[in-house]
Structure 1
Amino acid sequence: MAAVTGIRTRILSHQRLSKGTFSATHRNASSWTEAALRKELTSRRLPLSYDYLTPLPSHLLTLSLSDFLPDIFQAPKILPSVQQPQHLPPGYHLIYFPPQVPPSQLLPDGTDLLHSPGAPFNRRLWAGGNVFFPTPKENLLLNGQRAVCVEKISDVNVRGAVGDEKVFVTIDRRFSTVQEGEDPEETRNRVLNSREVLTEQRTLAFLQDRKPEHTNSPNLAGKNSRLVKSPQDPEIRYTITPTKALLFRFSALTFNAHRIHLDEAYTREVEGHPGLLFHGPLSLTLLLRVLSSHLERIGRRIQRIEYRNIAPLFVEQELSICAKVKEPADSTWEAWIEGPHGGLSVRGTVWTEPLSA
């Protein structure tokens, strides 16, 4: 709690400082802000996030997705036993290790402030990232063992036109089991220096508050922007229409109070979107599970994925999860998600290897 309180104090201090700085020319403010934010955020000491790797969250996520993709998500009728533990499925780490902060440490949009650059960048979106999966021998087991996520902000960039800058915060995350009573500093150093552990890098985009004159008006940039053309001739294609119930369940499983997934009035009137947004991490989970299910049938597994979120997806609008071989020589795959009109929403590259590797 002390670490989180310290983060909040630094954010408030930076907010006061940035307000004064932004009253100068935008170009100078942008340059100063990038240097200052990179220095402050990359030196920010994030708290360790502990969890117990029980099968229940994974079981509930599989149940929640089973009606949408019954061929992929086949949930057992009863909760799996920790005495016969299963490996953590690809992407399911996203529903463990939630941000463990009280409501007072949430921002107005419902997100936690752990990675926040401070005002005026108060609107958060998931921009993309990459994940490295260890060999099955090193993969996490759902056996109830205590585990930890060690996070570090590795980079900060300010992009966008003058007056409409966005802050992109890149976070390195590493996951490992931990012994009960292990010293936190020993844990941090051990996990940061471990090579064969589940590793994720994610980039969050922080947008400026919408100007008062734009509140209650549609976000035209998201609605009328030109569609990015999707790749052609997918070998794998599954189409679903996400519901509000699915978004609520995923928010609950990830302990995520982000209002763009839950509060339709806020999403329309404050953020300017036409409806509730589909979760970025849920998009990643779907890509990973659909492709890994196919790969298992041909004796391969996902080793690494790099992906980028290009356009938003919305509740009760059709989306399609697609994939095809990109480079047959090294079994690299192209994976993507299309929106309701065929435009590209998520695009990824996946490297695979034999299951026995």
Structure 2
Amino acid sequence: MDPARAAAMAAALNRAAPSGDLPPFWHHAYFWDIQPADHLGRDGHFRTGTGLIPDLGLPRRMWAGGRLEWHASLVTGTPATRLTTLGPVTRKSGRSGALGLVTLHHRITQGDRLCLTEDQSLVYREDPQPGAPRPVPAQADSAPVEETRSFGAMALFRYSAVTFNGHRIHYDAAYARDVEGHAGLVVHGPILAEGLIDLATRHLGPLAGFDYRALAPVVADETVTFCLAGHRAFVRGSDGRLCMDATVRPAT
């Protein structure tokens, strides 16, 4: 695990570069899934049907959430292996039309030591219908611990670069608005999850687990609030909507 990747992640997140143990969730700077250009879809991600994920016939991809369990710290400068297997793939009908739900299971080891297990949840959707009303998101509460942040276009581009994420909703504003129906450039779900993990770790100590759901997109330059209330962490949008909801499990 090249320390230069961790230094790049630190720069992208405006944090101090680590030495030794990798901060939680920074493993997304590693294990890139590199695909040739002719394997990519219109959105910059690899086309479904070319790898583990089957072709669902649904063009819009979003990071829906995940579940993480830390068993041991990942250490920079040491080889690591990630084994990925395909979990359940289901189709259903939602308020916005057909949905495809996909789970990827990851196991990350260093030597013979299991360090991290992660379930990554993805959702695939139909294109938005012209004039269709946007879903009304739930409203978020206040919390004892709150910190505000915003992420501009440069921050999103740098995070895409360090994670080798080609999804155009994070750097192509015209595509994000006109094709996928977003209000602007979309902040990466993992940026929000990492921010909640960082907040929880600073107030509760090291974590054993973190479960989260992405509920409403955050757009570039929007001021959002990272909140912690006991073992619940969440992101509140500038209009009060609940953007991400999580449960944290401190290490004992």
The normalised TM-score by structure 1 is 0.66
Q: In structure 2, give the amino acid aligned to 1:126.
A: W
Q: 2:118 is matched with which residue?
A: 200
Root mean square deviation of aligned Cα:
2.0
Report if the CA contact (8 A) 1:111-1:257 is conserved: yes
Residue ranges of structure 1 left out of the alignment (5+ in a row): 1-52, 67-72, 179-189, 326-332
Following TM superposition, by how much is the alpha carbon of 1:90 offset from its aligned partner in structure 2, in angstroms?
0.8
Kindly, what percent of the aligned residue pairs are identical? 29
Q: How many residues align?
A: 249
Q: How does 1:120-131 map to 2 (within 5 A)?
A: 120-131=57-68
Report if the CA contact (8 A) 1:304-1:350 is conserved: yes
CA distance in 1, matches of 2:6, 2:96: 43
2:109 matched to 1:109? no
Q: 1:253 is matched with which residue?
A: 162
Higher helix share: 1
CA distance in 2, matches of 1:154, 1:227: 28
Report if the CA contact (8 A) 1:172-1:202 is conserved: yes
CA distance in 2, matches of 1:161, 1:339: 23
Report if the CA contact (8 A) 1:309-1:346 is conserved: yes
Q: 2:31 is matched with which residue?
A: 97
Following TM superposition, by how much is the alpha carbon of 1:227 offset from its aligned partner in structure 2, in angstroms?
3.4
Cα distance change on mapping 1:209 and 1:292 into 2, 3 Å: same
Q: 2:139 is matched with which residue?
A: 229
2:222 matched to 1:324? no
Report if the CA contact (8 A) 1:119-1:208 is conserved: no
Higher strand share: 2
Give the secondary structure class of the aligned counterpart of 2:194. helix
Q: 1:167-208 CA distances to partner (integer Å, 9 max, x unpaired)?
A: 000110011125xxxxxxxxxxx7xxx7x4301001100112
2:223 matched to 1:313? no
Following TM superposition, by how much is the alpha carbon of 1:289 offset from its aligned partner in structure 2, in angstroms?
1.3
Residue ranges of structure 2 left out of the alignment (5+ in a row): none
Following TM superposition, by how much is the alpha carbon of 1:301 offset from its aligned partner in structure 2, in angstroms?
1.3
CA distance in 1, matches of 2:211, 2:4: 28
1:153 corresponds, among 86, 97, 107, to: 86
Cα distance change on mapping 1:255 and 1:206 into 2, 3 Å: same
The normalised TM-score by structure 2 is 0.91
Following TM superposition, by how much is the alpha carbon of 1:163 offset from its aligned partner in structure 2, in angstroms?
9.0
Give the secondary structure class of the aligned counterpart of 2:206. strand
Q: Which has the larger radius of gyration?
A: 1
Report if the CA contact (8 A) 1:129-1:200 is conserved: yes
